Copies of this chain bind each other. A is one copy, B any other.
Amino acid sequence: MAGDEIVSRRPRAVTIKHVAAEAGVSLQTVSRVINDGPNVRDAIKQRVVAAIEKLGYVPSLAARRMGGTRSYLLLALNDRDRTIAGWQSGDGTDWVDQMLLGGMLKCAEHGYRMIFELVDTHSLHVERELTAALAALHPDGVILTPPHGDNPLITRLLASRHIPFARIGSDGQAPGFAIQMDDAKAAAAATEHLLLLGHRRIGFITGSRDYSLSVKRLVGYRSAMRGAGINTRDLVAEGDFTFESGVKGSEALLGLGEPVTAILASSDQMALAALNVARARGLEVPRDLSVVSFDDTPIVRFCAPPLTAIRQPIAPMTATAAELLIRAANGDEIEDGPHVLPFELIVRESTAAPPR
């Protein structure tokens, strides 16, 4: 170990200086090459690139953030309570996974990282929590998932600080990039699928009021029903996406004087609940009752019977969010939204013609 006294405690990594020395140019020139800046002759660029290759140089995010105006970080915000509850109960929802799939991979393409955080949308401290995360990380953009995109405390704070943000599954009439699927059209499509099978008593279980998309889905369902000349007065049950609320809603709809023959549920958990309630009442799905889910999560594919469902493009929406934010950080002009991504109606074995 002779000579090792010279080795500093903090092992020095390859920095821009080493590259500059290796290529025989100034720091600034290396910086320009890294950032694809103008005013570098091709020959020099080659030399720098070669030096970077040779030394295996990768710039430090922290240093870039300190020197410059960007952090190469995107912050993805999810609702704390709902997310943790879902993880702990193992509810089988893959929202977060799909977000990672879309967001992480898109970030990686551009040298960005996506950092996941949980904040309490209902807490009085939302602003404090968010401020703290912003101060610690200085993200170049923030991705808001429902219901955060509909929370004015959050959107106003972000807007006032001029931090670009994207709202997934949230309305177009506000600051921030709106990225959505057409929830109304999706609900209408699901309803029409049931109408086409011959159903007329089609019940709808809504999502939580915190989510603007809950309303849009209800609107889509109502318009499809109205188009078929059916009154929906007694056919709507209020839910909040949870299994329990799905149980309540299903029982209400199946306990009507003239019970429903089909249930369109605004979440996978509520659809599963409908399945359970039906079974408890001796109803067979889809023979006696058709069920449609609004989430196409793994469990609705593996449950018995596999459920007909609307597939939300969560990964593509998150990828789009990341891309818009990165482009915004690059100073690009972004086309006006809302950015609407296509849904899919996936027909499986939980829907059939009504009994009789």
- Taking the nearest CB of chain B, how far is it from the CB of A244, in angstroms? 16
Q: 15 A-B residue contacts at CB 8 Å?
A: A11-B162, A56-B131, A58-B131, A61-B62, A62-B65, A66-B66, A86-B97, A87-B94, A87-B101, A92-B92, A96-B96, A104-B118, A298-B298, A302-B303, A303-B303
Specify the chain B residue showing the minimal Cβ separation from A93.
B298
Is A41 among interface residues, defined by CB-CB distance under 8 A? no
Extra contacts, 5 of them, besides A61-B136, A62-B65, A90-B94 (Cβ < 8 A), are A60-B136, A62-B71, A87-B98, A88-B101, A272-B302
Please give the distance in Å from A339's CB to the nearest CB on chain B.
22
Number of interface residues of A (CB under 8 A): 56
Docked pose: A193 CA to B58 CA in angstroms? 53
Instruction: State whether B87 touches A100 (Cβ < 8 A).
Output: yes
A139 → chain B closest CB, angstroms:
11
Chain B residues whose CB sits within 8 angstroms of the CB of A100 once the complex forms: 87, 96, 116
A59 cross-chain contacts in B, Cβ below 8 A: 135-136
- State A105–B303 Cα separation when bound (angstroms): 30
Tell me, in angstroms, the Cα distance from A170 to B333 when the chains sit together: 48
Interface string of A286-316 (1 = CB under 8 A from B): 0000000000111101111000000000010
Contact between chains at A135 and B92 (CB < 8 Å): no
User: Does A211 count as interface, using CB distance less than 8 angstroms?
Assistant: no
Distance A304 CA – B58 CA, assembled complex (angstroms): 50
